Amino acid sequence: MWLLPLLPAVCFLALFFVYPVGDLLFLSFKDKADAFSLDQYRSIYNSPVYTNVLLITLKISLMITAFCIVLGYPVAYLLANSDPKTRARLVIWVLMPFWTSFLVRAFAWMILLGNNGPLTNAVNMLGSGPPIKLLYNLTGVMIGTVQALLPLAILVMMAAMQNIDANLTRAASTMGARGGQAFWRIYFPLSFPGVAAAGLLTFITAIGFFITPALLGGPRETMIAQIILVQVQELLNWRFAGALSLLLLILAFVVFILYDRATGLSSQAKLVQTGAVTKPPSHWTRLGNAASLVVLGGLGAGCDLIERLWERVMPRRKGRPRAHASGPLRIVVTMILVFLVAPALIVVPVSFTAGTFIEFPPRGLSLRWYETYLGSSVWVNATLVSFAVAFVTGLAATILGTAAAFVFIRREFFGKRALVAMFIAPLVIPRIIIAVAMFYLFARLGLIGSIVALVIGHTVLALPFVVVTVMTVLKTHDERYDQAALTLGATPFRALLHITLPLIQSGIIAAFLFAFVTSFDELTVALFISAGTVTTLPKMMWSDLILQMNPTLAAVSTVILVIATVIVLAAEAIKRRSPAT
């Protein structure tokens, strides 16, 4: 009986996530007569175009991962070693671009990096050679995608660094170690599991990207997700799209295996979760850790010059943590935070321009573009559809996810880890594969262009956020209140209704708001499923960005930014007020 609350969510994911994805991948092994065939894979093998696209995807994803780790590490270090109040204030700035729409950020970079954009003009003024182009090339893709994924890397590394005992580096200092030695030989090896996890999550997310490369890149930066998009939307070649999707999954899986063998990520995660002693690291793990420490640790511990420079960057002051005393570190972190936040805010002044074209700084002040937005039935209808779908999605994901989270936290049963992995899988599997699989399923069911299909698709993507949020709240909930109610004669249902739910209601409301924002900002699924009168706001923005940039898009982007910011800030405030947190 206690498994019953879990069954609706499991059945929902099985029907609308596991089955569609498996069906799409299995379809790639069939011909038009439904007989087993490898023709799709032969076509990929015989065409150097797709091989080059896979290599480009791998190269760009690795470069993005490297930049995210290098830029994110000092920010995560400062956040992890700051006092709680300072950390709370800085995390808001890290989260701001994280909850801002990918489309809004891409649109902002198109303004900043355009031929007459402020960044392009500044770079060209500093140089004496021919004009430099920062848009529609690899530079634009790297800037936009790194800015999009950097918050993810920062949050993952910060979570790992917060568990490092600060007394260890202090002990090394008291034994004569310089700042550089204490950091590279003590702190960095302890933070390496967080770096490894951040690198893996960033890479897996990057290989499925198509929004930023499609808007900021050129033909030479075409990634595999863009090819899948063309195969489905323009050619309706489901079998070939399934073959490309399988190759993308295999690429992610192979990289995960090699990465895990080199870093020992899975064994480290198991050790953290269970606290048990695991077997000694394998040869590959030792080799990977040694290589990483030689490359990174050798910079500080290898020579006295680097150590003296580190002492300047991280001066030692009595009674104060190094992270607080470091002026240069604060400057570096401030520059990175500006890089994260500025693009999302650049669209706000542009939306008030009195001119006909997009330019920064704006020419005069006017509300004409907001009047254009509110006076367009197409834009208003798309906004209403987005609100309706997001609200229903939030309710559905909250009900299903909360029930599942209770079972995961309160019960131990066979297959629990596999089910938890299934619930988290929509966050890991490239979203383009999920969207194509749902499109193939809903096309056969006749649900394309319906609100029902949008709600189902968005609920699949929002469900992991709800499960993780509610599980986090339940882990800190004191079950003794429930047990006291039971001993006083309350039934389990009454104890749940009158004791547990009121105590964790703030966390549940926060989970609903996160699901709402996930749906309201979602583009990939809406790009395939929405059509006609049920077009969502992100889908409308995508269509206009592909055709022509205009100030109306800046007004719409500002509206989306304000809505998302208000909702997420409200969710964070409500979550912090929860008695269970």
Mean pLDDT for the stretch of residues 288-301:
43
What mean pLDDT value characterizes the chain? 80
Q: How many CA atoms lie within 13 A of 237 on its CB side?
A: 15
Q: Model pTM?
A: 0.80
Judged against a pLDDT cut of 70, whether residue 161 lies above it is answered with yes
Question: pLDDT tens across 167-222, in order?
Answer: 887 787 778 776 567 777 888 888 888 888 888 888 888 888 888 888 888 888 88
Judged against a pLDDT cut of 70, whether residue 294 lies above it is answered with no
Judged against a pLDDT cut of 70, whether residue 290 lies above it is answered with no
Judged against a pLDDT cut of 50, whether residue 325 lies above it is answered with no
Share of the chain above pLDDT 90, in %: 17
1-21+353-581 placed in CATH 1.10.760.10: no
Q: Where are the domains of the chain?
A: 1-21+353-581, 38-350
Task: Using CB atoms within 10 Å of the CB of residue 388, give its burial: 0 to 12 exposed, 13 to 18 middle, 19+ buried.
Answer: middle
Q: Which residues of 75-94 are buried (b: 16+ CB within 10 A; e: fewer)?
A: bbbbbbbbeeeebeebbebb
Higher pLDDT, 356 or 335: 335
What is the distance between the alpha carbons of residues 254 and 207, in angstroms, rounded to a whole number? Answer: 13
Higher pLDDT, 258 or 412: 412
What is the distance between the alpha carbons of residues 482 and 500, in angstroms, rounded to a whole number? Answer: 7
Share of the chain above pLDDT 70, in %: 85
Cα-Cα end-to-end distance for the chain: 29
Query: Under a CB-based contact definition with an 8 Å cutoff, are residues 311 and 184 in contact?
Result: no
What is the distance between the alpha carbons of residues 21 and 429, in angstroms, rounded to a whole number? Answer: 10
Judged against a pLDDT cut of 80, whether residue 300 lies above it is answered with no
Judged against a pLDDT cut of 50, whether residue 82 lies above it is answered with yes
Higher pLDDT, 571 or 175: 175
| Token duo for residue 158 | 């910060």
What is the structure's pLDDT at 111? 84
Q: Do domains 1-21+353-581 and 38-350 have the same CATH topology?
A: yes
What is the structure's pLDDT at 107? 83
Judged against a pLDDT cut of 50, whether residue 581 lies above it is answered with no
Class of 38-350 in CATH: mainly alpha
Mean pLDDT for the stretch of residues 49-58:
89
Judged against a pLDDT cut of 90, whether residue 237 lies above it is answered with no
